Structure 1
Amino acid sequence: MSDSTSTEEGFTGVDEPTVGLSGRRLVATLYVIVVGIATFTGFVLGVIGPRDLDPQLFGFVDMPPTPLGMAAYGGITLATVLGVLLVGVMFVSSRYVD
């Protein structure tokens, strides 16, 4: 008689990774998607070209109101704001692990 539990096909003794996204990977994916949407929206606003459009990156860097300038403004601004918040959350979560 053989012991079927130890010779089971496909059993490696190693936990298989679960299918899906981990928490950090999900947040990073959402971050990239949201920054991409902001960049695209800035580009669209630059194409439309409303009057009196004078973007200033971080309050002191003048950006051109062209499609590329507006895309850079939208992407950089949101990436910086969300990036600082995400780094803060990651720092706090790594310091206070249950």
Structure 2
Amino acid sequence: MNVSVALADTETVLSLSGRFDAHEVEAYRAAADPVVDVDSASIVVDLEAVNFIDSSALAELVRSMKHVRERGGELVLRNPSDPVQIILELTGLDLAFTIT
């Protein structure tokens, strides 16, 4: 999986591509944690180019969401690919996250 971070005026965007699974959780965490720890505004995780997601990755997204909310911010999932959207709906996480 590839992770890129872009800073905008009101949000920080983490763009992910490829498979987001148990083997890639550390790569996500290495990119996300510094942003989550410092930025209390909107954090956007762009999932448009993610073609697979597993339960470990979902758990990591939930962990990030909780951490951001504790700091008064919001974690938004943007453009989930069809396979990711299906998993979010099957797990009910589409109701927990803000998805745009």
TM-score, with structure 1 as normaliser: 0.26
Structure with the higher strand share, 1 or 2? 2
State the TM-score, normalized to the length of structure 2: 0.26
